[in-house]
Amino acid sequence: MPNQQNQPLQTTSMPIFSKMIAAFWREQFGNGEVLYHDEVFTLTINPDLRDDNRVMVLEMTNGKVVAVLTPAMADKAGLTQQAELTEATLRQKLNEAGVTLHGADYLFYFTEADKNSLMQEAVEGDLRQLTEQDHAVFSEFQASSSEQDELSFKTNLSNVR
């Protein structure tokens, strides 16, 4: 059923995960105008995406792919309502428009039961949460990292207390 308007992101395959996780991904990929939808691929235009997340592609373990981008990025890549669209076509159009995607991030989520089990395991070595005293060392580490990783570090550093 291609081109269904406002088709919600189905998270029925995520019931074992935290509602917070499902809500996060639903907000990113499920809000906005659906440009294309079929049984394998969905493309949504979401004007509420942050600047550092103007284009996102999520490939799920079941083989389905959902993609979302801002209206400006859709215009830049010439993406409009189409009878047929694939992930490969999306990537080609983005590439032709000079839009380079970062390499894949692999996201792993644990069920609440698995998380609780992991939290009970003894941790070997010296492991602790970063504090404000770690700011200088973490900044030095950040400076030696790639530009792609720098965005992640900025987000994580703002969470150091």
Instruction: Give me the pLDDT at residue 47, please.
Output: 94
Judge if 100 and 137 occupy the same domain: no
Judge if 134 and 105 occupy the same domain: no
Residue with tokens 């996780």: 21
Judge if 60 and 81 occupy the same domain: yes
Laid out side by side, the sheet with 41-45 consists of: 33-37, 41-45, 65-69, 55-59
Give me the helices (H) in the chain, please. 19-30, 71-77, 87-96, 112-120, 135-143, 147-157
Judge if 89 and 138 occupy the same domain: no
Residue by residue, pLDDT tens for the chain (161 residues) are 343 444 444 444 444 556 777 788 788 888 899 999 999 999 999 999 988 889 999 888 788 899 999 999 999 999 988 788 999 999 999 999 999 888 777 777 777 788 888 888 888 888 888 899 999 998 888 888 776 666 555 544 444 43
Say what the pTM is.
0.61
Instruction: Give me the pLDDT at residue 55, please.
Output: 93
Burial of 139 (0-12, 13-18, 19+ CB in 10 A): exposed
Per the structure, the complete domain to which residue 141 belongs is given by: 124-157
Say how many domains are in the chain. 2
Instruction: Give me the pLDDT at residue 94, please.
Output: 94
Judge if 107 and 131 occupy the same domain: no
Instruction: Give me the pLDDT at residue 155, please.
Output: 47
